Each structure stands twice: as structure tokens, then as C-alpha cells.
Structure 1
């Protein structure tokens, strides 16, 4: 038989257990803090603090230089919605560009993924080649393609007399728009291809073999089996391309600079000019917050809709 403990011994034993639990809990908290703490600290300094500072300045008429900022309330936001046609035009251009770029980039990326998921001897080399444009910086890529559009196409057009190469690619509103779309799709399609390839490799081959035995055509297998199974990859790729296309800046800046006559000016360039060229920092930050909300709404709707399709599939 175990000796009967006195109330004092029971109290001491309970205190020791409680202290041990508290010590283990604090050890666990400190362990998590050691790993997560630095990331939270840097995220707060780099993201949250500038975000709330920008929110404050959007209600002022600060020029970005002076030590004082005059509080103007919602005047900046009212001016944007009532008397700023340039911002509206840049938003319409960016939306049109986003729609074209998302469709073309994902179509090319998915097509390349289907091609390079097959048993080709050179598929690894081709994957690298198609992904390389994504590694090149947007400014550098823009200047390279600016040379191609202005000098390269002109030389090919003069030599072959093909009308396509004689077009004023960066000098006309329509061709400049499609020029930016082409370069953006060329840059980002390889990245989308990698995501689609990863999804395709997760498809069970036995399902495709069973469908072949049952007489399903390649198009039917693609539409009824492959696409429904990799819908999560479409969700990711659509989200990435929508956000990237909306936020296009460096590529647009180096290719056309927003020209001709601001016809290809993206929202990001409009905000940059407002804040840093015209020294209307308060108005620029107000535009950036409106833009932030618009992008958040677009991407959220896209994720919700595509996630719903995943569930249905």
C-alpha cells in the first residue's frame, strides 16, 4: 500500500506539477517566438508600418518633402473620383491589359506544360529555356524588347516586306498595348508552365489508361479528367497572373513609359508620377489605397469562384 499523503504534501505536489506545466508552456512559447518572432518583426517593419503610415498620408496634402502634413480628410479621394480622368483611363487600360494578359499567359503556360509533360528527351532543357525569361528583371526585359520592336522588327520588315514587322509597335496605342501583352506573356508563361507541370505530374496515370481503354479521345481526357483534377493549379495561376498584371510597372515603364500620350499608362505608373514626379504624395497614396482595394476585390472574387469550381469538380 502507498503511504497516505497529508494535505500539505498534496498541496506541494500540485504546486510542483503546476510549476512544471508553466515552465513547459513558457519553453514552448519561447521556442515559437525564436522561430516566428524575427519574421513577424520584419513583416511589421517592412509591411504594416508603411501601410498604416501611407493610410494616414492619404488623408493629407503632404508633398513628400516637408516636415509637416496638412490634414485634408477625404478631399484626395473626392478629387480622384470627380476630377481625375488620367487615373480612370490608366485603370481602364490596366483592367483591359489584365484580362488579355491572364488569358494569353495561362493558355501558353498550360499548353507548354502539356507538351513538356510528355516523354520528350529534351523536356528538361526546354523547361529551363522557357523559364529563363521569368528570371530576367522587368526593366532589362523591357529595354531588350524595346530594341526588338523598334530596331529588330524594322530590319526584318525591310528585308521581308511583311506588314506585321512594319507596324509602329510602340508608337501606336493599339500596337503598343499588344506589345506590352506579348512581352508580359513571354516573361510569365514559363512560371505558369512550372506550376501546371507540377499539377499534371500529380494526376494518376491509371485514370488516363482506363479512359484510353474505354475509348476516350485525348480532348475528352483533357476536358473530363485532367482539367478537373488540376483545378487548384488554375486557381494559383489565375491569382498570380491577375495580381502581377494589375501591378505591372517596370515592364510598362521601360517599354513605353506610358506613351504614346499616356494611352498605355498603367495604374502603378500613374501613382508613381503623382507621388514622385508631381510631389503630390498625399494624393498618390490615396490612389494606391483605392488600387489596393480594387486588386483585393478582383483577386478575392477570382479565388472564391475558382475554389467553388474545384468543389463542384
Structure 2
């Protein structure tokens, strides 16, 4: 069976490679080229050099969206991973009904971001109204924490499953050796469990980091970037993906700028993800 498969491997590889080229590589290269172009219509453009990149870096809305996204990413990464690990650790302690709890905690991840955004918007507005506080769309602080709560509620269950897999992969003899040596629960957690779960930490931090910077649909549905700074086109809770989307819709003169911002966005996320992978993988231990 192996020889025919080895001879015909291009037939198996071709569909996937073709789909990758059509669905990702060609649009990416075309977008990269268009980031150096100036548009007179959506389909008519000509080479303009680095002018779009200069305009992108000079765009105050883009810089503010980057700052808001970075702050959100730091907070959400910490909250999601700490809560997910705590739940995973609790549900691997031979509790009754742990499988039911795992299912319940994972279910929010099955709901689409747009739907969740509108549902949580209704919940937040009802709560703020009952507490005689400002509506969600008029207070940037409420919008920030609303996004954190929404995405944490959605993603904690998914990260919890990854942490559970990492916890279950820890050799029992290693935990028994720590117990025989007199290590307490907290000592075992810090010196045995967490070092052995670092591969799961690497995966979860990578996913939460990239998801935080790429967040779009929840931001669009929950706040839409509001509130807006009076007299400007700058929004206080607008994240990078939503800002690029809105910039592309301003007019033909801004389509090239939006494409340049998308390229900068890609480079930024890729660089941060690679740095994070390198930093966390150095902490992993060989079992």
C-alpha cells in the first residue's frame, strides 16, 4: 500500500495546495500589492509607493485602535488563561458530574460572535439601566470591560479543554513521587503540574493572543466602536480589525490606506505570536 501512495502523493497534495493558493496565497499577495496602490474606484488603482503606509501611521484613529487592542489583549489573555486553568484543574480532581460541567463550560464557544455580541449588549444595557448608570455605548470603560467579559465567557471553556488534556498527560508516577517527597498541594501545583502543562499554556496563550488582536465580530455587535470622540472620526472602543473595516468604507481614497493597515496588522500579529511561542516554549519541560 505504501508504494502506490508514495508514487501518487502529488494527487493527494494537489487539492489542498490548490485550495490554499486560491483561498489564501493569491488574496494575500494581491492585498499586499494593493497596499502600495492608490484607488480611483474599487477596481481601478495605480502604483503609489509607500504613501498609504505613511498615511496609516499618521492616522490617529489607527494608533488609538492599536492602543485599545493592546490593552484589551493583555487583560483578556490573563483572565481567560487563569480562569480556564483553574476550571481545568478543578475538573480533573475526580469531582462528581465533571463531564457535565465540561460540556456546559464549552457550550458558549459554539455560539457565533455576532449573536453573542447582540445578546450581551441587551444584558449589559439592562443591568446598567437598572443601576442608573450610563448606557454601554456612551462609556468607553463599560465598553472595554463588556468586551472582556463577553470574550472570556465565550473562550474560557475552549481553553479549559486544552488545559484538561495537558493535565491528564502528566505522568501519575511524577505526582506520586512529589507526594512521597512531602510536597503539599500548592508545591505540587507550582513545581510539578504547571511546568508539565507548559505545552498547553503555549497553545492557549497563542490562541488567546491572536484571537484578541483579530477580534472583530464581537466588537462590531457589542459597541461598534462607540462612543465617538466629538468632532472627529475616532472611536474609543474601536479595535484594529474594526478600524480597518471602517477605513475601507470611507471612500476610494482610503481603500489603499485600509489595505496598508491590514498589512501592518498582519505583521504585528505574526511578530507577537512568534515572540510568544519562542518565550513560552523555552519554559516547557521534557517528560
1:55 equivalent in alignment to 2:32: yes
Q: Decide whether the 8 Å contact of 2:198 with 2:285 is kept in 1.
A: no
Residues 80, 109 of structure 1: CA spacing in aligned structure 2 closer, same or farther, 3 A cutoff?
A: same
Residues 97, 64 of structure 1: CA spacing in aligned structure 2 closer, same or farther, 3 A cutoff?
A: farther
Q: Give the number of the structure whose alpha-carbon radius of gyration is greater.
A: 1
Q: Using the TM superposition, give the Cα deviation of residue 31 of structure 1 relative to its aligned residue in structure 2, in angstroms.
A: 2.0
Give the structure 1 partner of residue 188 of structure 2: 221
- 1:117-266 to 2 correspondences below 5 Å: 117-155=92-130, 157=131, 166=133, 168-261=135-228, 262-266=235-239
**CA deviation string 1:176-215 (max 9, x = no partner):** 1111111111111111000000000011122222222322
Gaps of 5+ in 1: 1-23, 159-165
**CA deviation string 1:234-293 (max 9, x = no partner):** 001110000000000000000000011111100001110111343422111110000100
- The 3-state SS of whatever aligns with 1:215 is coil
Q: Decide whether the 8 Å contact of 1:249 with 1:268 is kept in 2.
A: yes
- The 3-state SS of whatever aligns with 1:69 is strand
Residues 220, 57 of structure 1: CA spacing in aligned structure 2 closer, same or farther, 3 A cutoff?
A: same
Gaps of 5+ in 2: 229-234
Q: Using the TM superposition, give the Cα deviation of residue 33 of structure 1 relative to its aligned residue in structure 2, in angstroms.
A: 1.5
Mean CA deviation greater in 33-42 or 243-252: 33-42
Aligned equivalents of 1:289 and 1:219: distance in 2?
Answer: 45
Q: Using the TM superposition, give the Cα deviation of residue 154 of structure 1 relative to its aligned residue in structure 2, in angstroms.
A: 3.1
Aligned equivalents of 2:78 and 2:251: distance in 1?
Answer: 35
1:296 equivalent in alignment to 2:270: yes
- What TM-score, normalized by structure 2, do the two folds share? 0.92
Aligned equivalents of 1:63 and 1:288: distance in 2?
Answer: 19
1:308 equivalent in alignment to 2:285: no
- What TM-score, normalized by structure 1, do the two folds share? 0.84
Aligned equivalents of 1:28 and 1:134: distance in 2?
Answer: 38
Q: Decide whether the 8 Å contact of 2:62 with 2:243 is kept in 1.
A: yes
- 1:84-123 to 2 correspondences below 5 Å: 84-123=59-98
Give the structure 2 partner of residue 35 of structure 1: 12
Aligned equivalents of 1:214 and 1:63: distance in 2?
Answer: 73
1:78 equivalent in alignment to 2:54: yes
- The 3-state SS of whatever aligns with 2:47 is coil
Q: Decide whether the 8 Å contact of 2:166 with 2:197 is kept in 1.
A: yes
Residues 33, 175 of structure 1: CA spacing in aligned structure 2 closer, same or farther, 3 A cutoff?
A: same
Question: What root-mean-square deviation, in Å, do the aligned CA atoms of Structure 1 and Structure 2 show?
Answer: 1.9
- 1:271-286 to 2 correspondences below 5 Å: 271-279=244-252, 280-286=254-260
Aligned equivalents of 2:50 and 2:267: distance in 1?
Answer: 16
Aligned equivalents of 1:43 and 1:255: distance in 2?
Answer: 32
Aligned equivalents of 1:106 and 1:306: distance in 2?
Answer: 14
Q: Using the TM superposition, give the Cα deviation of residue 217 of structure 1 relative to its aligned residue in structure 2, in angstroms.
A: 1.1
